Amino acid sequence: MGVDSCTLWVNGKKYEFSVGTKFGQLSPEETLVETLRERLGLTGTKKSCDEGACGACTVIIDGEAITSCMTLTVDCDGKHIITVEGLQNPSTGELDPLQQTFIDEYAFQCGFCTPGVLMTTKALLMKNPHPTRKEIEDALAGNYCRCISQYHVLNAIEKFANGGEK
Average pLDDT over residues 28-42: 98
User: What are 86-95's pLDDT values in tens digits?
Assistant: 999 989 999 9
User: What are 101-121's pLDDT values in tens digits?
Assistant: 999 999 988 889 999 999 999
pTM value is 0.93
DSSP secondary structure string for all residues of the chain: ----EEEEEETTEEEEEEBSSSTTSBPTT-BHHHIIIIIS--TTSPP--SSSSS-TTEEEETTEEEEGGGSBGGGGTT-EEE-GGGGS-TTT-PPPHHHHHHHHTT--SS-SSHHHHHHHHHHHHHH-SS--HHHHHHHGGG---TT--HHHHHHHHHHHHTTS--
